Each structure stands twice: as C-alpha cells, then as structure tokens.
Chains A and B, each alone.
Chain A
Amino acid sequence: MEAVFFILFGAVAVGASIMVVTRRHPLSSALYLLMALFSVAALFVLRQAHFLAAIQLILYAGAVIVLFIFVIMLINVPEERLPSERMTAMRVLGVAAAGILILESALLARRFAMPQPPVAEVGTVEAVGIALFTDYLLAFEITSVLLLAAVIGAISLAKKKI
C-alpha cells in the first residue's frame, strides 16, 4: 500500500519537476513547481514526517510560490515576447549529463534497501521540537541569527531612509 503511494507521488514529483524546466511560460513552470512540492510533501507524510510536510506546504506552497507567481504577474510578459527555445550545444550536453546523473544515482540506490518506516514517532511536532531545542540548538540559533540578518538587509535595501 505504502509502496503504491510512494511510486505514485514519486512519479508525479519527478514528472512535475521535468515540466518545470521544460515549460515555456513561467507561470506554468511555477504551477508545476507547486505540484512537485505537493508530491514531496506527500512523500514526507509517507515517512511519518507530518510536521515537515505541513511546514513544506505552509512555507513553500503557501508563501514562496505565491511570491514567484506574484512577480510573474507583475512583470506580465506577453506570450509572444517570451524568448524562443533554441537547441544549443550546452543544452544537449546538459541533458546528457542529467541522464548520466540519473543512471548513477539509480545504480547507487540499488545498493540500499528501502528503509522501513520509522517505528517511533520521530516526525511529530513534539519530537522535532525537542530535537531542535536540545541536540541541534546551536544550529537552530545560528539559523535564526542568519534570518534576522536577512530581514534587516531586506529592510535596508527596500527603504531609502530608515
């Protein structure tokens, strides 16, 4: 049952990701990105990481992609002014490199068995919270300082006079 859902959402995630880079219109790309994020959130749920899935949806799907779409809407490039796609040598090489990477990772993945779903509830809000505020406290604090610096930077860039 779980394998079925894993294959389903995994396939959707991979397919949507390919669509993200191949679509011509930026808004279509953004929507496929949303689809990919959704499927990844579903994969998180399958691994019992409910908290991570919820946060993924709230932050990425609910906020970040909306901002992307916002920018696309504000710039609002008409369809005919979008740059046309060309086959360049770099692109052909890029596709070839991507194929090799996928093959390599598939070969690597064959060495590992699919991990069993965790028995203990490691993905719950409580477990994540406890881990975050004990074992990984330093990393957590450093991240928050980094975010604060980013916030201050954004404000100082946006405002001419503070």
Chain B
Amino acid sequence: MAIGIKKVARPRKMSFPEALYLVEIVKGLGVTMRHILGNIVRQEGIKTIEYPEVRRVMPPRFRGRHRLMKRQNGAPRCVACFCCPTACPAKCITIVAGESPDPAVEKYPVRFDIDMLRCVFCGLCVEACPVDAIRMDTGWFTPPDDTREKLIFTIETLLEK
C-alpha cells in the first residue's frame, strides 16, 4: 500500500445554538433517557451476561481448561511420550512415566501435573500430542482458588472432565 497523506477534516465551526451548549445538552439527556427507559421496559435489551448463572457459549475452537482423554477401559490414553512438556513454552507440564500394567501399552503417566498458574493456554500441547490424549475443549476458564497448590491440576482432576 502506498504511503500518502490523508487529510482529516477540521472540526467545522459551531453554529450559535451549538456553541450555546444548552440545546446539545438537552439532546444528550434525551439520548440517555431513551436508553434508560428502553432498558427498563425491555430487560432483554441489556447486553450483560449474568456470569455464574448464565454462561456464554464458547466458539468450538476456544482453548479452555485441559482434559485428558481415556481409553475404552478407563485408563488414560496418554503414553507419557513427553511431547507436550517439550512443546510447552511455559514449562507448566510435569510428567513422570511408569511401566503400564497393560501389556498392549508400553508407558503410562504416573504423574501428569499442569500448573494452571503458569499455563498460557497456547494449545501447543494439544498440537504436539501424537495420540490425541490431551484436549482443551472443555469451554471452561481456570476457576479461581485459595492456594497455589490447588491450582496445580493433577492427573485425577484432568481425567475427570
């Protein structure tokens, strides 16, 4: 795009009734009164979403709280391949691998912690996962809590959702 000069119109000179300001104030008061009466008569015109009771429907690709997927027998689908902690820019995933009791599966995560205080919700862990074990499609924000410890989500919490 060519760089050029854009002329911005100077504010035009106010006519006398405008410069007097009073008429314009009354007009403005009319506008605000219209809003207030309209909102009292038609409550549905108010845009506020009353959050805890009413929740906004998130778009399908919204990246919310993580969840870990399960196999059909209920065991975690994760194979503890360490792809997600490697991809994570915030270094918030901690995995401790162990040998799976299931002979068909090599490894499983003994620990799978996500520090929600450090997570930046970039979604790279989801992209990195080769077995589609981690997803961010819950549509939830991180809920608030009292202590830092409670916001390090363990594998049990992550499997629940």
Direct contact of A and B (CB under 8 A): no
Residues of A at the B interface (CB closer than 8 Å) are none
Residues of B at the A interface (CB closer than 8 Å) are none
